[in-house]
């Protein structure tokens, strides 16, 4: 069983949507499934919601779906499955693989979809872990920048050397049970007025 919170199915006709939804349910996929009948509508949908996976049944009425798949893959953490006619799989795969888009041939077999969903689920888990780690690192980097600004102010205003400024911030953080970033912000407020 696969749990994707939100799935967007992009296909130019209702029959394609019904077949994909049926195949997904047959393969034990759980999650909210939204249908879109064009790239334009799907783009609007993606502006309003985050999706774990987007399945594009190409070609679509308003475009072929390849550039759309690339854009989604480049601009978000969403996993994209692009469904194309079997004879085009190799050519299209060579265009989109570097962006992380998975290409599957039509007619789509239940086994191929199942294997692709395993891969998509693994990719989603990995990407979310990387995104979380990236957030933590950015937060840490922001704190380092603020602490360095505060140290510079202490050096300027109180004539501390770099080591003394560092110890001063560290000691205040321990004494007040706050982070160095919080202490640095207090120092910035005090000396930048």
Same domain membership, residue 55 and residue 103: yes
129 in a domain, yes or no?
no
Residue 175 and residue 95 share a domain: no
| Lowest model confidence (mean pLDDT) among 20-34, 93-107, 159-173 | 20-34
| More confident position, 193 or 166 | 166
Q: Are residues 92 and 152 in the same domain?
A: no
Residue 191 has pLDDT above 90, yes or no: no
Q: Are 73 and 142 members of one domain?
A: no
Q: In this structure, is residue 121 part of a structural domain?
A: no
The number of folded domains in the chain is: 2
Q: How confident is the model at residue 193 (pLDDT cuts 50, 70, 90)?
A: low
Residues 61, 140: one domain?
Answer: no
The pLDDT score that the predictor gives to residue 120 is 82
Contacts for 129-133: CB closer than 8 Å, 24+ residues apart: 131/77
Q: Residue 36 and residue 17: Cα distance in Å, rounded?
A: 9
Of 73, 91, 108, the residue at which a domain comes to its end is 108
Domain of residue 53, CATH code: 3.40.50.2300
What are the two backbone dihedrals, phi and then psi, of residue 48, each rounded to the nearest 5 degrees?
-90, -30
Model confidence pTM above 0.85: no
In a domain, 44, yes or no: yes
CATH number of the CATH domain containing 174 = 1.10.10.10
Do 147 and 99 reside in the same domain of the chain?
no
Position of tokens 């009948």? 37
In-domain check, residue 128:
no
Phi-psi sector, 73: left (phi>0), alpha (psi -120 to 50), beta: alpha
User: What mean pLDDT is predicted for residues 57-68?
Assistant: 91
Task: State the residue range of the domain holding 147.
Answer: 135-191
What is the DSSP track for the chain? -EEEEEEEEEESSHHHHHHHHHHHHHTTEEEEEEEESSHHHHHHHHHH---SEEEEESS-SSS-SHHHHHHHHHHSS-EEEEEEEGGGHHHHHHHHGGGT-EEEEESPPHHHHHHHHHHHHHHHHHHHHHHHHHHHHHHHHHHHHHHHHHHHHHHHHH---HHHHHHHHHHHHHHHT--HHHHHHHHHHHH--
Stretch 121-136: mean pLDDT: 87
**140 and 87 together in one domain:** no
Same domain, 35 and 81: yes
Residue 36 lies in a domain: yes
**pLDDT of 24:** 85
154 and 99 assigned to the same domain: no
User: Are 152 and 60 in the same domain?
Assistant: no
pLDDT in tens, 89-107: 999 999 999 998 999 999 8
pLDDT at 22 over 90: no
Q: Which of 7-21, 115-129, 138-152 has the highest mean pLDDT?
A: 138-152
């Amino acid at each position: 069983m696969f749990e994707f919170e939100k799935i967007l199915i992009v296909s130019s006709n209702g029959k394609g949507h019904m077949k994909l939804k049926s195949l997904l349910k047959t393969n034990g996929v759980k999650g909210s499934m939204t249908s879109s009948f064009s790239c334009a509508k799907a783009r609007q949908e993606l502006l309003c919601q985050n999706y774990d996976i987007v399945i594009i049944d190409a070609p679509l009425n308003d475009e072929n779906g390849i550039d759309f798949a690339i854009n989604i893959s480049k601009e978000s953490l969403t996993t994209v499955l692009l469904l194309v006619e079997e004879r085009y799989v190799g050519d299209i795969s060579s265009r989109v693989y570097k962006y992380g888009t998975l290409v599957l041939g039509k007619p789509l077999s239940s086994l191929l979809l199942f294997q692709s969903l395993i891969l998509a689920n693994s990719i989603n888990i990995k990407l979310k872990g990387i995104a979380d780690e990236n957030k933590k690192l950015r937060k840490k980097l922001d704190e380092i920048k603020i602490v360095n600004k505060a140290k510079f102010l202490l050096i300027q205003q109180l004539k501390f050397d770099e080591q003394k400024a560092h110890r001063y911030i560290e000691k205040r953080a321990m004494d007040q049970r706050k982070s160095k970033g919080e202490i640095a912000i207090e120092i910035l407020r005090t000396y930048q007025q």
